[in-house]
Amino acid sequence: MSDTGDTGKTGKTGKTSDTGTPANSMWGGRFEASPAEIMEEINASVGFDKRLAPQDIAGSKAHARMLAHSGILTAADADAIVSGLDAVQAEIDAGTFDFQRALEDVHMNVESRLKALIGEPAGRLHTARSRNDQVATDFRLYVRDRIDGFDGALAKLMRALSLKAAAHAATVMPGFTHLQPAQPVTFGHHMLAYVEMFARDRGRFRDARARLNECPLGSAALAGTSFPIDRHMTAAALGFDRPMANSLDGVSDRDFALETLAACTITAVHLSRLAEEIVIWMTPQFGFIKMSDRFTTGSSIMPQKRNPDAAELSRAKVGRIASAFQSLVVVMKGLPLAYSKDMQEDKEVAFDAFDSTSLALAAMAGMVEDLEPVPEVLAAAAGRGFSTATDLADYLVRELQMPFRDAHHVTGRVVKLAETAGLTLDAVPLADLQTIEPRLTQAVFSVLCVDSSVRSRTSYGGTAPQNVAKMAALWIERLETPAKPG
């Protein structure tokens, strides 16, 4: 994939002139000729890493201030650099910054522009650092920002699910195993199952953030530096907990990106399952939920259609997100320490996976807010498939002290009888039930309807409406105070 087209530049660095102008103004000292066109094309990353400009500028400002504080730069130079960098950021914000492929990457584009704006002091900014610790720092800052975005997006989705759960704490629906009707559950309980999953996803992102939050800046190229820098100062200025303890490690690992991509992948898996359920529930065959025009599309040929495109796309995003994780695993595997250019391949896949994750999270929050369960359809479906058979078996154990295995057998015979007669369990006449188990009385019918079935599931974590209402309220309260880990 060539991502250089949008820079609008394919310009080559000028050849060495007779007057000794270097082949590349940033590193051309020992080079006599410009890179081959194809070399420049494979090497350049500015087409995509320009996204890191805000982090690059923040890192450079912190570095310049630290250099002045440590007596390595004059205060005047540092001030010139910091305000020059602000001017560069302003140009980027205004869309007037001219990113040039010949300058390879975001780091050299920013520095080169700084030089044009402030002159000589710009050349002192790169003291005691390298692009290796620079890019590691920028990317950590970037991934950290994205993690914070996922945290907020997950909270929003969890809140939408919890509100839906609270509204439908007592709405019965079929619970499935093997996609076969199993036992009745409540719609709220089903929503809260996803809240739990997304809460763990949020925890995974938070865990990744905590491990990520150490600063590589000052590792320099790989060995540290002979300048008396203060790495604690730059780490603190950039909101890191501490500097990374080993300079080789600082420039050469991307585990923080891998971990975040793994968290994205698991989140995307969860999203895909919910999306799949929405797709199924929306079919006329199920008819469990309704979705408004806001999250569905029509067909250009079939006027009756209402398609769940947003759900389908959210379901599909896991493909590229999981591939990004795998892609970076393969890039990093077997790389010797410390930095290798291979690592430049970390960014495009990660950007794509992060964008896809936020898009799918936001779309899912919108869909969850939008969807409305259809209680009559859900209740009717909940009663089909002999879904209260387990309730009957439990009743036989409880009331007749039958061993569960025997109760299972008796219930099986009742199901067979109902199936043959084409009846739901609660419609089988008592006399017929008594031909199988003479000790049964009218009381048995209290456990055969779906409402009493769900009401009876009061065990901790069970589907009883009172449990669901309580849990939904708890989540809504927790999600209102973002400081508390979800």
- Please identify which residue in 34, 100, 112, 132 interacts with ligand ARG, judged by CB under 6 A: 132
DSSP string, 173-232: EEEEETTEEEEEEEHHHHHHHHHHHHHHHHHHHHHHHHHH-EE-TT-TTTT--SS---HH
Which stretch, 82-90, 172-180, 186-194, 337-345, contacts ligand ARG (CB under 6 A)? 337-345
What is the C-alpha to C-alpha distance for residues 359 and 259, in angstroms, rounded to an integer? 19
Binding-site size for ligand ARG (CB under 6 A) equals 10
Which of 201/348 has CB closer to ligand ARG?
348
The yes or no reply on residue 26 touching ligand ARG (CB under 6 A) is no
Indicate the DSSP class of residue 287.
Answer: -
The yes or no reply on residue 131 touching ligand ARG (CB under 6 A) is yes
- Please identify which residue in 7, 13, 45, 453 interacts with ligand ARG, judged by CB under 6 A: 45
The yes or no reply on residue 344 touching ligand ARG (CB under 6 A) is yes
Which of 341/484 has CB closer to ligand ARG?
341
Which stretch, 33-41, 329-337, 340-348, 434-442, contacts ligand ARG (CB under 6 A)? 340-348
Q: Is 63 a catalytic residue?
A: no
Burial (Cβ within 10 Å: 0-12, 13-18, ≥19) of residue 368: buried
**Selection from 319, 347, 318, 325 nearest residue 3 by Cα:** 347
**Selection from 136, 144, 254, 134 nearest residue 208 by Cα:** 144
Cross-strand bridge partners of residue 372: 290
The yes or no reply on residue 343 touching ligand ARG (CB under 6 A) is yes
What does the block give as tokens for 280?
């199924």
The yes or no reply on residue 105 touching ligand ARG (CB under 6 A) is yes
Which stretch, 86-94, 129-137, 238-246, 361-369, contacts ligand ARG (CB under 6 A)? 129-137
Which of 178/341 has CB closer to ligand ARG?
341
The yes or no reply on residue 7 touching ligand ARG (CB under 6 A) is no
The CB-of-139 to ligand ARG minimum distance in angstroms stands at 8
The CB-of-334 to ligand ARG minimum distance in angstroms stands at 17
CA dist 198 → 147, 301, 364, 486 (Å): 14, 38, 12, 9
Backbone angles phi, psi at 64, to 5 degrees: -65, -45
Element (H, E) at 421: helix 404-421
Q: Is 299 a catalytic residue?
A: yes
What is the C-alpha to C-alpha distance for residues 397 and 92, in angstroms, rounded to an integer? 72
The CB-of-344 to ligand ARG minimum distance in angstroms stands at 4
Return residues touching ligand ARG (CB under 6 A).
Answer: 45, 49, 105, 131-132, 135, 339, 341, 343-344
Instruction: State the catalytic residues.
Output: 178, 299
